[in-house]
Chain A
């Protein structure tokens, strides 16, 4: 009797596809229970459970159990995420706010534009109807609504002040896009999404005799984070001299100075507190030498870095000018350093080892070195005032382009880096750092490794920890609170060649925000 009952129960359970079903991928099924534990039943077939909604195809969400759930919302219904809307519909912002001040979105017919992730100028360019950070973006509620290499994060709305919406943006790496300007001076909007690590504007003009840069920066809440330092003048009624101009520069929360031909504005200038997500309002302008508005129209490129906190990797791309018959050849294994000889040079290998060690302590590892020769005799010993012609040859957008030249002018300058440099941008007049090798006539490779690291760090957004005048002008220093250093010389960012190679924890955190890293 008992045996018969047990047999009946097993038969019923098997027929109903109870938990413990053993359907394999591709097997027919009537429900999830018919499939093995790591599978689900989708369209009457066992398939792997989803990790994110795109695994399921259009018209599905992926729930927290890894099961594809069909989207049910129809045209004009309120939605929060792209995966809420039925196939053929997308979740689009209406531009209105609800009673709680949140942006309203409704399901709407897909447009003819580009899919998510492609570049755009406005919403109409995107088939899902949302263009943000120069790219088509899908709305989302949770991370599972996005692809596996994306995150669901708050994005500032380009028009409505203080309004944010959740969209899918890259989890790692950087987004780059251009921001059009059609006059020499205009306010542009730089969105800083929640979860972004840093944002920068690369501002360029064609006329190298004019300057370009930011005149002011306002935060989302209207707080002034930067104001153009005053222009020193010897006019009798002027209140601005060189010291006052420097005071202005160091007083700003965001460090920036316009530059001839190109400049970079990097947010933030410090590692903590975290920059507030929101829309930053930046007045961008070209300037004449006296800082009045210029006539050149700036070209603006924005770069936002998303990589999460943790160990980061850095590529270094080495370029060698003609170093034949160099007076300091004795320090170069008594030969000519070049792309081919550097690989086997004992001295150069030691130099690379020191670079690795310095950045390893900031949780940054070098993962790729490349080597190239440059044969341009006019650039063998460039003047820093005209360094753009050399840095323009920095052909790698990822990592740092490092140029080894015979000498730099003015003689005595050992190296140069834009501060900060245009991370992620190749071929600009600031795309790299320069190291003069005549330093090796009176210093060893260890000092050269510190100098190179110092300049790489400046390119990535660190500043001199103190300036030479700090004794008389106490504010002339970086904004990083390094209580762990009694003597500023004990730090990589000390301005003199006689300093240590140490980076503080806060400096390391700041470096890891750079879009130079991967």
Chain B
């Protein structure tokens, strides 16, 4: 995605790019770098005038590799706050954005930032509680990721998705998993998934 497209699309929030980085207006940058509170939907809606504009801007910030990383991380994680209340499905816009971020990990050098960005997207996908087979298929291979933090986050996300199809890959991973933190996450997911349809 080119800088010009982002600048236009983020009409309500982004200032013109300076050098290589996408510069966010100070109020937006502040809201997306809160220390101890996730960005609130009501705050974002007020900042971007309408919920649709807020979601679109969040989506663009989440996908923009040239946005300040801390803001990008919070934007990714804030996306599911725009899902309607269950049992209505989350919008395709949010879903495809998160899946695109997860897919991008495979092509990345798996740097610490790549790991963190992936975990934010995986956690957010779990919170959508879409529970589709495709989501289970998207996440299950990551149970074999070298990073224990990724594996634990994926187990937690599969637990939140609440689709019984995740039981088999979780059980398979539990057979070989050595790290206690991940084993605990796998066990908790398996326990809770038994209650899911």
Contacts and interface: CB of A to CB of B under 8 A. Distances in A.
Given A410-B38, A414-B36, A443-B70, A468 B43 contact: yes
Interface in B24-49: 27, 29-31, 33-40, 42-43, 46
A322 B38 contact: no
Nearest to B38: A410
A442 B69 contact: yes
A474 to B, nearest CB: 14
B70 A378 contact: no
Contact of A441 (B39, B77, B116, B153): B116
B77 A410 contact: yes
Q: Is the interface of A mostly helix, strand, loop or mixed?
A: loop
B115 interface: yes
Contacts, number: 112
Nearest to B46: A472
A471 B38 CA distance: 19
Interface stretch (B12-20, B129-137, B176-184): B176-184
B120 interface: yes
Contacts of A442: 69-70, 73, 113, 116
Contacts of B35: 413-415, 451, 454-455, 495-497
A443 B37 CA distance: 18
B33 A416 contact: no
A411 B73 contact: yes
Nearest to A495: B34
Contacts of B46: 469, 472
Contacts of A322: 180-181
Contacts of A160: none
B70 A381 contact: no
A14 interface: no
Interface string A374-412: 000110110000000000000000000000001101111
A377 B184 contact: yes
Interface in A325-382: 325-328, 330, 377-378, 380-381
A406 B149 contact: yes
Contact of A413 (B38, B148, B180, B184): B38
A489 B29 CA distance: 12
B152 interface: yes
A411 B36 contact: no
A406 B39 CA distance: 21
B112 interface: yes
A328 B112 contact: yes
A110 B70 CA distance: 67
B69 A378 contact: no
Interface string A87-112: 00000000000000000000000000
B42 A377 contact: no
A254 interface: no
Contacts of B127: 410
Given A327-B115, A407-B119, A442-B113, A498 B36 contact: no
B36 A458 contact: yes
Interface in B123-149: 123, 127, 147-149
Contacts of B116: 327, 411, 438, 441-442
Given A327-B115, A406-B149, A442-B69, A412 B42 contact: no
A417 B77 contact: no
A381 B180 contact: no
A168 B113 CA distance: 59
A377 B180 contact: yes
Nearest to B123: A411
Q: Which of B46, B148, B152, B179 has the most CB of A within 10 A?
A: B148
B42 A327 contact: no
Contacts of A38: none
Given A327-B115, A441-B112, A498 B33 contact: yes
A289 interface: no
Contacts of A407: 119, 149
A497 B181 contact: no
Contacts of A496: 29-31, 33-35
Q: Which of A328, A410, A443, A498 has the most CB of B within 10 A?
A: A410
B74 interface: yes
A299 B112 CA distance: 45
Contacts of A468: 27, 30-31, 34, 39-40, 43
B43 A469 contact: yes
Contact of B37 (A378, A411, A472, A495): A495
Contacts of A377: 179-181, 183-184
Q: Which of A381, A451, A468 has the most CB of B within 10 A?
A: A468
Contacts of A469: 42-43, 46
Interface string B177-197: 001110110001000000000
A244 interface: no
B148 A325 contact: yes
Given A468-B31, A498-B29, A410 B123 contact: yes
Contact of B36 (A328, A406, A415, A472): A415
Interface of B: 27, 29-31, 33-40, 42-43, 46, 69-70, 73-74, 76-77, 112-113, 115-116, 119-120, 123, 127, 147-149, 152-153, 156, 179-181, 183-184, 188
5 contacts: A322-B180, A322-B181, A327-B112, A415-B35, A497-B70
Closest 7 CB pairs of A and B: A377-B180, A377-B181, A412-B74, A441-B112, A327-B112, A496-B30, A411-B120
